[in-house]
Amino acid sequence: ELKVEQNPLFLSMQEGKNYTIYCNYSTTSDRLYWYRQDPGKSLESLFVLLSNGAVKQEGRLMASLDTKARLSTLHITAAVHDLSATYFCAVDVKAAGNKLTFGGGTRVLVKP
């Protein structure tokens, strides 16, 4: 059974500082996704990572994938209040019918 673990579950950030969220998964993955969810809202797609060594960046967020270590990271640079949200990683495995398995989520609160 595929397991996806995120840590930390909660991250209190200070504005201007850098932080990293980790996502570990237990079996070979075809794709890894990062999503953002604001309270009461659905998911907003941030990144899709397809291959080992893949790195994608958008604004203050950067995601990377190490398929050998089965690890993805979401790095936040110089955190700002607008980044407060819950972040989820999810893994897609073809052999499992392309179902997404989600991590537990990381709740991020950026304080001034």
Partner 1 sequence: GAVVSQHPSWVICKSGTSVKIECRSLDFQATTMFWYRQFPKKSLMLMATSNEGSKATYEQGVEKDKFLINHASLTLSTLTVTSAHPEDSSFYICSARPGNSNQPQHFGDGTRLSIL
Footprint of partner 1 (CB under 8 A) = 31, 33, 40-43, 45, 48, 88, 90, 92, 94, 97-105, 107
Of 38 and 66, CB closest to partner 1: 38
Shortest gap between Cβ of 39 and partner 1 (angstroms)? 10
Of 37 and 77, CB closest to partner 1: 37
d(CA 60, CA 102): 23
Shortest gap between Cβ of 6 and partner 1 (angstroms)? 9
Shortest gap between Cβ of 63 and partner 1 (angstroms)? 14
| DSSP secondary structure string for all residues of 28-96 | --SEEEEEEE-TT--EEEEEEE-STT-EEEETTEEEEEETTTTEEEEEE-S--GGG-EEEEEEEEEGGG
d(CA 1, CA 74): 24
Of 39 and 112, CB closest to partner 1: 39
Shortest gap between Cβ of 86 and partner 1 (angstroms)? 8
Of 19 and 88, CB closest to partner 1: 88
d(CA 16, CA 39): 23
